Structure 1
Amino acid sequence: MIALVTLMLTARRAQAALVVLLSALATAAAVAGPVYTAAVDRASAVAEVANTPPAERTVSIQAGIDSTQRDRFDAVANDLAELPRFDTVLTAVVPVLGLDSEPGEIAWMTFRDGLCDHVRIVAGRCLMAAGEVVVGEATAHRLGLTPGRSAMLSWARYDNISRTWVIAGRPAPTTVVGVYQPVDRAEPYWGRSGYFAPTAPDTTAEPLFAGRPTVDGLEHDSDNRTVEAIPGPGAFDADHLPELSAALDELSEDLGSNDETARFASLIDELPNLFERVRRSDQLTRELVPLAGLPLIGLCWLVIFVAVAGATAARRHEQALIALRGAPRVGRFWLAAGESVIAIAVGAPLGYLAGTLATRAVANARFGPIPVFDLTPAPGAVSAALIAVAGAVLVGLLALRRDLASPVVDLLRRVPPRGAAWRTIAIDAAAVVLAVLAAVQLRAFDGQLLGLGLLVPGLIGLAIAVLTGRLLVPLAARLGRRAVQRGRLGLALGALQVARRPGSQRLFVLLAVAVAVLGFATTAVDVADQARADRAAVQTGAIRTLTVPPTDSGTLRAAVRAVDPDGRFAMAVGTRQVVDGPPVLFVDTAALPDVAIWRPEYGDRSPAEVADELRPPADEPIVVKGSELALTVDYAAPATVGSAPPATRTELRLTALLRPLTGGAPVRAGSAEIEPGRHTWELASQACVDGCRLAGIEAVYEAAGGEAAELSIVSLAARADRSQPFTDVVPAFTTDKWRAGDDAKVTAEDGGVHVVVPGAVIQPRPTVLLPAGTPADVPVLSGGPPPKSGEAEGVDGNVVAIRPVAQGRALPRIGTGLLMDLGYAERLATGNTDLATAEVWLGSAAPPDIEQRLAERGLVVIGRDSMTAAADRLDGRGPALAVWFHLLAGGVAVLLAACGMWLMAAVDRRRVLDDMVALRRQGLAARTGGSWVLWAYLPVAVAAVVTGLVAAVIAWAVVGRYVPYFVDDDFALAAPTWPGPIAIALPAVAAALLFTTVAVGLRRALRVRD
């Protein structure tokens, strides 16, 4: 038996080689999915880590401790040091006074492990002994400090009553021994400190670095200590992430279980967010890759079935002779099956090796670096290969079933009898039912791609191809008869061969399913590209964005307007850290129409309409010009209520809140304690020589117990210098020109405005007297439902009332939240208006030297971004990498179909040549014989291309909405529905060209010469 099978393989080695090749392809296709998935997992983990800010990759334990808690904190620091592949850095920070001659101006004396390895000393030397400090270059220039300068530094604490830093410890002599620059402001060593990070709130307040003996030797009751775990090489390798996650969970549990430590120390760990993104990326990869890989494996099985069935049909006469000689059924089975099974078994290991190497090579070229020749099995690769081989053997045996069961008389016929009608109907029904069940499951599980849902594209393509294929035989027969009547013998012979050949329908199904797989792949890739481009536009907001150091909103807006007065190409944009409520994007809307990339998700209003709605009214503000202000008040100390003891503190403080008209930080022209009695109090303000807008007058009453203070504000005047008289800024203080918050009462009084200021219950709360022209609320554009409270945090962090003028699904940069005009927000601001992130968005008309122009206005660019860069970052994440596997699978599917087409011709070659020789002897022209072969394959290929394209469109209509494109859903964007025309036409054109080339090649290969 073995010898006979060996002889059969040797005699038909070309056919055996084809089966070996198909088995190898099936195994390679099965292995490609797990190997590609593993490669995507590694690449996406790298991308997620790269897209995570350095501070968020750092784990830290922070504590405000006294001298009795230092040992316990050191023990906690040792626990953090056990994180694998992380280096720990200890930091201690103490506020000190004495370095700056200005009263209340503190410096942050800071000890940090390994400092001298990460700074560049530009003058003097680095730290060596106790009592030594090094200062930053900007600080040294600002304060005139040089190496060798001595200072008496004292521990400082913040006094809530005076709102200033005061000396709280004994002065200690220190010496400035060096001036430093950070070697790399963005290196991981700086961790969460934010000393030099672009988004740090105090980028100009450089730390005063000192050694640990210096910090510990300074007399102080408490300090702030931090131990940070900085990631080292390999810390975030995909293989190590589970180990790191488990270690962090254990650390968090240990810290939380110790009540004494938890009271003063807190773990700051944002790595779980990174782990979740990586996990979500892996999950989506395991949905997207099988969505293309499983139909490809099924297609390989279909090709093997067509190959084995065709080869078996060609050996029907041989099977009949074996049966006539009395061979037992088991022997007949092994003689028939052994040839195919051995070929499949030989091809499997070759396919495993080729699939692994080829897939790794593709992954390395697409998003490497991937170790191509590392043959370590990817998770699931061996199981997938075994399933592919088992399926190949099963379909091969299934292809033999009919001929093994046929009687000898049927085997002796050249044209096999047609199958039973019920079997045809059952196959069609099964294909349709499976496709429907898969689609129903997809919808039932909210679009989760699992189970049969992963097979929806392939099953829909198969169902449509099988149903359409049933029309192939009758249509080909009719076409052949009509061609005979018209005398077109080549077309007639080709069409009649399609009608009579048993494998024609199988070939049609094979080609149609392959085109459907390729069409679905190109559609998925094109729509995914559109979705990433849309997301990139929303993430950046404009064609290009420039990041500048955190700055005051007025300074940013004034500088950008100075560069672009008409708002044609530059727009000031910023955000603040939101404590409670929706995020707010502050925008100078004057430039919104020409700079921002406006999308339908932002609402049904045009950017010009939105800008008109959000822009502040052009009313005349109260302008203060001068270097001195005089506030006239009438104040009487409050009487004790009932028998309650008098308040321990009864200071009343008034502050004029001013904003320079030329832009810049807000000015607080404050006073010391206001004494009872009517008098004029001068408030110094040097920043308003060119004019300031009066934002309000703040009153703070320091009395305890909730008592209230009553005062009357009579007038506000200003003068340029002491040699000039005061000029009234506000001609008359009346209630129609002033208003206060809900917690204060404002009433009219002869010659002024009477204000009742509530006292402190727990801590003082300011009451602000606002000009009547100050808006009561701020118009906003809402991305998503506006907050039910009708409030949001303004540009100064205070809560303001909002008035939504339009609503969309999302907003640029922040996704869901609010968009507020920067100038309008400043109208209501009474506090500090520093922006956490300050940006300049640029339109297409921005000049090449825009950065230089901004630098001349004091805005130094520290970061750059663009739509193209944002799209590139999205291209490196898991879903984008996984969806490219569809294109790879689609290309392999069409090549498999072409191989199947050539294989069927090779199986039929002997019979076709015999028929053609007989017809040539009867006078058939050589040209007609060649066209016969062409028409036997070309119409099947053309019909299959059209059918496959239709199947791909239907499959996308069912599945497309469920295909994931992003790891997160930070932006409520509607995914594109359909691809561009090229993405639909491209697979049809490519498949048609390939199949036509194969058909023409078959015509030449089967041509009979005279």
Structure 2
Amino acid sequence: MIRALAYRKGQAATLALLAALVTACAVFAPFYDRVMQQALVDVKLTEAPALDTSLVIQERAVPVTDGPPPNVPGPRDLMAAVPSGLRHWFQEPSYGWTAEATVPHRPLNLSGQVMSRTEACEHVTIVSGRCPKAAGEILVSVADEKTFGYRPGQVVPTDVAAQAADEPARERGLVVVGSYREVRGSDYFAEPLTGWSGVTVADVSPAVIRHEIWLTDDATFADGPDALPDPRSVAVLRLAKDRVGIDEIGSLAAVAAVHESPVLNGRQTVPDVRTGLPDIAAEIASQVDDSRVLVPLILAPLATLCLVVLWLVLVTITDLRRSEVAVARLRGQGVRGARRLLAGELVPVVLLGAIPGLVAAVGGAWLAARLLPGEAGLELRVPVLVSLLGVLVVLVGATWAASSRVARTPVDELVRRSATFRRGWRMRALDAVLLTGCVVLAVEFVTGGLSGPASYVAPALFALGVGLVLAYLITPLAGAGGRALLRRRASGAALGLLDAARSQSLRSTVTVLTVATALTVFSVDAVLVAAHNRDLAARQAAGAPAVLQVVGADLGAVDAGIDRAVHETGDRRITPVVTIRPSGDPSITTLAVRPEDFARTALLAPGALPADWVDLLSPDDIEPVDLTGRRLTVSVSGGVLGTEEPAVLGVDVVTDSIVYHRDLGPLPASGGARLGVDVPCADTCHLSALTLTGSVGSSMSGSVTFDRVSVDGQPVSLGNASTWTAYDGDALTPGGTDALTLDVSTDGQEEVATTQAFFAGSVPVVATAGARPHSQDYSITGLDGRSRAADLAGRATRLPGAPALAVLANLDVLRRASHPDSQAVLSVWLGDADLVAPTRRALAAQGVALAGVSTLEGVRHDLDRSIPTWAVQLGVVTGLVSLLVALLMLALTAVSGWRVRARDLAALWVGGVPRGIVSRLAVLAPLPVIAVAVLGGAAAGLVGAIVATPSIPLFAEPPEVDTLDLATPWLPVLAVTAACLLLLGLLGAATGRAVYRRAALARLKEGV
């Protein structure tokens, strides 16, 4: 056997290499599937917020209307609610308490939380002072120390819990013993401790200023008359991430049942269980289900191609041993002996080839484990062993079948130099069945009968069908063309076509090259299209190259910080953006921007917005009514009667986007009067509305005229009636020419108002398709969460950083008479990620805290870390191996038939064909066949991509906004097709040249 292998080194190497490829594909699939799953677990657990990967159990007392609140069980009692089977997956729990800490302060109270945790001081950096050790001692953050001036030894007065409904407010002192800095990246507390010092919360009543979390000792939360408000016992279990893999993540979904535990629900308390582990486990399980389908389907066409080529190699090699089999049969060894002769030589080669295939699979999996995120390692599991055993059985079975095929051939056929080969138009039964199956399945794909991950096999089916058709067309067409050229005495081209028509391996070669090229082209197309769509989705989700999320809604401070950053960097691509997402489903999100700054900062998709959208969102030319001074006076005449009490005249003035209301006094029943009131307009404000107020449920009627309006004695023009809007139909109608006259007629309305058009005019917006109005009355959500009238100025396909239902509005227009509330999310968008650091410093100098930073690169990074992405990237391996298989097929054709071809070339030379023509024929004859196969395969791959790509999962979860673009990347596809033509053509020419060098006259003596 060894001598036979030494004599046929090329055949043995080709057979072993193909066996290695088949083995590598089969064994690599379960390895890679497992590596992807483990990497996914590491990614999800590492990148999820600490609160999502922890189990936080809190318990608070049931609120009571009178008397002291009931006692809250201690933190360690909460652990009884956690099943013992789950505790192994968590670290040692930390225990503590949390309560509200409200500090009476002027002009606004300070509000926040004070907490204790097991060994809390060991998980923060103590900047000054010491750790709290007794009741009432607190450790404040360095930001609170700077913002509020707290120093060690200072006593901070704090409200205590009321013991009775009518009990007056009482205070207790908390002693500052030091300051701390939070350790970034630590998940010990399962929630952030800092980041909002000094932020004003205006959307609660009364408004408060937030302080950051203060750390204290458990003794601070003792029951008694000085107990802090709303005490909660807390147990925090942080996930032991190094103990959790893909096999364990599913069991963590059981933490959702902790909330239903009778331990928590059997007491007079309110339990609160927080964790994101069930959602994380469900997301991972969904992607794992995808991976179990995607990886085999991606590698199956490649493994099948390798197996088909392996079979062709076995058929060719066994055909080359026909004479040896004939001798064995004539010596009486029979069919079994002949089969043992062939199998004894070929099976060891196949099994030896499986060894480097196994090594390649392990090496590829190891490399994948290093390249993919996380700490996934190689695991020798049952699926790997089953795949290895299965591929060995297939390899040995294919070799045994190929050996039996030749061993069973009658002796009279074996003694012929070659097997009989039919070159007509008739198709063999097996090929006819394959072609029919390909056509049927292709039709199913085109009509949508087959979709989803199964689409990965579409290109192979198209290519196999095209390859079979080409294979059966080329032979007769080449023969007919060659004969026609001979009649025209074009001997060179005619001999090339006739030579191709005589080739026994032509059909198999064309089929294999077509399928291999199709898989290569489809793989490149799929990888590039998927990457392009991830990039589009990332740009849409990010909105800008970098976005700073701001804590609070102090737009004035943010503007000051932006001005400072622009001055320092000289880059104007820094702009504020306010996002308002009202509650409810579906809801229309408002994106409030400064159009010119937004246009040069945001990642705007080409053609997504109207070309003139900046002009469409520009504010109208109506000027506000400016007031500068402290005393507003106005003359009124006429009369508005109320059914209960006289109507009271009031004004709304706006300064720094804050609306102040002031009452000037009751209107006279008839005649005239001069009314006045102090207004906060020393630095100029705007008059936004005039109001008339009566008693609850009363009606008002009459007419009142305003003139001689002045501030600190300086006259002020109210404008004409067209610049004031009516209230509720005809309830209040502005009129008049020189002075403003209001005609009032209400029925049960206690207040009516007329608003100056600078504040009440419709807001021009650009809306996405789903957010367009269906009627004339169109409104959007303003900065303060209230409805604002809007005019549709333009339409957009999508807005960057916004959901599918969104409108784009001018921030300065919306800001005229409103201030961002809790629904408004304030952020700063940057046109370059390099602007993050200077902008952060500029904002910090204005006291603006950041909740987080997101970048385009980070969003794209998150999209890249998913099983669909990693699975599609296998296309790189598929394309390279497919091209390698095509090269091997050409090499096999040359190795198996070089003797016959060399003899034919020598015969042409002897027959009088010039040596130059024979030389060109040897080199150029394979090229037309290669070109036809490659171009046919590229076309089949493109058709397969067009059909299959829409059904291939490109994302773990579909993006909120559809940015799908499945256009073919023509330049890379054409480049890959050209590369296939070049490589295969060079190999074909090189093998032809090598055969020509062996076309000596002595070859003719070998006989026929």
Give the shorter-chain TM-score range.
0.7 to 0.9
Higher deviation after alignment, 559-568 or 905-914: 559-568
Separation of aligned partners in 1, 2:705 and 2:181 = 52
Note closer, same or farther for the CA distance 1:559–1:399 as it changes in structure 2 (3 Å cut): same
Higher deviation after alignment, 989-998 or 280-289: 280-289
**Counterpart selection for 2:18 from 18, 22, 47:** 22
**Counterpart selection for 1:782 from 735, 744, 767:** 767
**Is the aligned partner of 1:179 residue 2:169?**
no
Per-residue deviation, 1:458: 0.9
**Is the aligned partner of 1:895 residue 2:879?**
no
SS of 2:211's equivalent? coil
Asked if the contact 2:664/2:675 (under 8 Å) is kept, the reply is no
**Counterpart selection for 2:658 from 666, 671, 677:** 666
Q: TM-score, normalised by structure 2?
A: 0.81
**Counterpart selection for 2:577 from 563, 573, 576:** 573
Asked if the contact 2:27/2:361 (under 8 Å) is kept, the reply is yes
SS of 2:873's equivalent? helix
SS of 2:242's equivalent? coil
Task: For structure 2, list consecutive stretches of 5 or more residues without a partner in the other structure.
Answer: 63-68, 202-208, 1001-1008
Per-residue deviation, 1:985: 1.7
- Once the two structures are superposed, residues 377-426 of structure 1 have per-residue CA deviations (whole angstroms, 9 ceiling, x without a partner) of 3x733343444444444554555566455433333322422359797254
Q: What's the counterpart of residue 648 of structure 1?
A: none
**Is the aligned partner of 1:191 residue 2:190?**
yes
Q: What's the counterpart of residue 649 of structure 1?
A: none
Q: What's the counterpart of residue 66 of structure 2?
A: none
Note closer, same or farther for the CA distance 1:832–1:472 as it changes in structure 2 (3 Å cut): closer
Aligned pair count? 962
**Counterpart selection for 1:85 from 82, 90, 99:** 90
Q: What's the counterpart of residue 541 of structure 1?
A: 543
- Once the two structures are superposed, residues 54-77 of structure 1 have per-residue CA deviations (whole angstroms, 9 ceiling, x without a partner) of 454444445552542512876445
Per-residue deviation, 1:214: 1.6
Separation of aligned partners in 2, 1:927 and 1:460 = 40
**Is the aligned partner of 1:693 residue 2:696?**
no
Higher deviation after alignment, 60-69 or 589-598: 60-69
Note closer, same or farther for the CA distance 1:752–1:572 as it changes in structure 2 (3 Å cut): same
Higher deviation after alignment, 797-806 or 892-901: 797-806
Letter in 2 for 1:135: V
Higher deviation after alignment, 911-920 or 568-577: 911-920
* 1:749-828 correspondence to structure 2 within 5 Å: 770-775=755-760, 777-786=762-771, 791-819=779-807, 820-827=809-816
Per-residue deviation, 1:528: 1.5
Per-residue deviation, 1:119: 3.4
Q: What's the counterpart of residue 384 of structure 1?
A: 387
Q: What's the counterpart of residue 622 of structure 2?
A: 619
* 1:625-640 correspondence to structure 2 within 5 Å: 625-626=628-629
SS of 2:261's equivalent? helix
- Once the two structures are superposed, residues 229-263 of structure 1 have per-residue CA deviations (whole angstroms, 9 ceiling, x without a partner) of 44444376444321222x323324437x9755698
Separation of aligned partners in 1, 2:950 and 2:523 = 14
**Counterpart selection for 2:138 from 133, 137, 147:** 133
Note closer, same or farther for the CA distance 1:395–1:753 as it changes in structure 2 (3 Å cut): farther
Note closer, same or farther for the CA distance 1:325–1:44 as it changes in structure 2 (3 Å cut): same
Separation of aligned partners in 1, 2:59 and 2:690 = 38
Q: What's the counterpart of residue 516 of structure 2?
A: 514
Task: For structure 1, list consecutive stretches of 5 or more residues without a partner in the other structure.
Answer: 161-165, 641-651, 761-765
Separation of aligned partners in 2, 1:36 and 1:200 = 49
Letter in 1 for 2:171: P
SS of 1:977's equivalent? coil
SS of 1:471's equivalent? helix
Separation of aligned partners in 2, 1:488 and 1:860 = 84
Q: What's the counterpart of residue 970 of structure 1?
A: 959
- Once the two structures are superposed, residues 621-650 of structure 1 have per-residue CA deviations (whole angstroms, 9 ceiling, x without a partner) of 23343457789999999979xxxxxxxxxx
Letter in 1 for 2:467: A
Separation of aligned partners in 2, 1:241 and 1:653 = 66
Per-residue deviation, 1:24: 1.8
Q: What's the counterpart of residue 367 of structure 1?
A: 372
SS of 1:522's equivalent? helix
Note closer, same or farther for the CA distance 1:806–1:49 as it changes in structure 2 (3 Å cut): farther
Separation of aligned partners in 1, 2:106 and 2:243 = 45
Per-residue deviation, 1:454: 3.8
Separation of aligned partners in 1, 2:337 and 2:100 = 94
* 1:463-862 correspondence to structure 2 within 5 Å: 463-478=465-480, 480-481=482-483, 495-553=497-555, 555-556=557-558, 560=562, 569-576=573-580, 578-580=582-584, 581-599=587-605, 602=608, 605-606=610-611, 609-626=612-629, 658-660=653-655, 664=656, 666=658, 668=660, 685=680, 688-696=681-689, 725=712, 737=724, 739-740=726-727, 746=732, 770-775=755-760, 777-786=762-771, 791-819=779-807, 820-827=809-816, 829=818, 832=821, 835-842=824-831
Separation of aligned partners in 2, 1:414 and 1:197 = 89
Q: CA RMSD in A?
A: 4.9
* Fraction of identical pairs, as percent: 22
Note closer, same or farther for the CA distance 1:560–1:817 as it changes in structure 2 (3 Å cut): farther
Note closer, same or farther for the CA distance 1:674–1:167 as it changes in structure 2 (3 Å cut): farther
Q: What's the counterpart of residue 249 of structure 1?
A: 256
Separation of aligned partners in 1, 2:758 and 2:199 = 35
Per-residue deviation, 1:433: 3.0
**Is the aligned partner of 1:153 residue 2:158?**
yes
Q: What's the counterpart of residue 1003 of structure 2?
A: none
Higher deviation after alignment, 808-817 or 388-397: 388-397
Q: What's the counterpart of residue 278 of structure 1?
A: 284
Asked if the contact 1:39/1:370 (under 8 Å) is kept, the reply is no
Letter in 2 for 1:351: G
- Once the two structures are superposed, residues 908-951 of structure 1 have per-residue CA deviations (whole angstroms, 9 ceiling, x without a partner) of 24444555667777888776665454345333323222221111
SS of 2:955's equivalent? coil
Separation of aligned partners in 2, 1:1008 and 1:596 = 67
Per-residue deviation, 1:296: 0.5
SS of 1:31's equivalent? helix
Note closer, same or farther for the CA distance 1:518–1:375 as it changes in structure 2 (3 Å cut): same
Separation of aligned partners in 2, 1:15 and 1:489 = 34
SS of 2:785's equivalent? coil
Higher deviation after alignment, 257-266 or 509-518: 257-266
**Is the aligned partner of 1:122 residue 2:127?**
yes
Higher deviation after alignment, 812-821 or 105-114: 105-114
Q: TM-score, normalised by structure 1?
A: 0.81
**Counterpart selection for 2:105 from 69, 77, 100:** 100
Note closer, same or farther for the CA distance 1:209–1:249 as it changes in structure 2 (3 Å cut): closer
- Once the two structures are superposed, residues 183-242 of structure 1 have per-residue CA deviations (whole angstroms, 9 ceiling, x without a partner) of 32x543453456427999869632343323223353356345655544444376444321
Per-residue deviation, 1:148: 1.2
- Once the two structures are superposed, residues 674-710 of structure 1 have per-residue CA deviations (whole angstroms, 9 ceiling, x without a partner) of 999999795674xx43223345579999x9xx85698
Asked if the contact 2:96/2:118 (under 8 Å) is kept, the reply is yes
Note closer, same or farther for the CA distance 1:739–1:148 as it changes in structure 2 (3 Å cut): farther
Asked if the contact 2:197/2:212 (under 8 Å) is kept, the reply is no
Q: What's the counterpart of residue 292 of structure 1?
A: 298
Q: What's the counterpart of residue 163 of structure 1?
A: none
Separation of aligned partners in 1, 2:231 and 2:744 = 45
- Once the two structures are superposed, residues 323-374 of structure 1 have per-residue CA deviations (whole angstroms, 9 ceiling, x without a partner) of 444543444444444544443344335423321222332x1464356667x3
Note closer, same or farther for the CA distance 1:54–1:675 as it changes in structure 2 (3 Å cut): farther
SS of 1:811's equivalent? coil
Asked if the contact 2:138/2:215 (under 8 Å) is kept, the reply is yes
SS of 1:180's equivalent? strand
Asked if the contact 1:740/1:767 (under 8 Å) is kept, the reply is yes
Per-residue deviation, 1:894: 1.0
Asked if the contact 2:664/2:676 (under 8 Å) is kept, the reply is no
Separation of aligned partners in 2, 1:997 and 1:199 = 73
Asked if the contact 1:575/1:585 (under 8 Å) is kept, the reply is yes
Asked if the contact 2:657/2:816 (under 8 Å) is kept, the reply is no
Higher deviation after alignment, 800-809 or 37-46: 800-809
Note closer, same or farther for the CA distance 1:586–1:140 as it changes in structure 2 (3 Å cut): same
Per-residue deviation, 1:844: 11
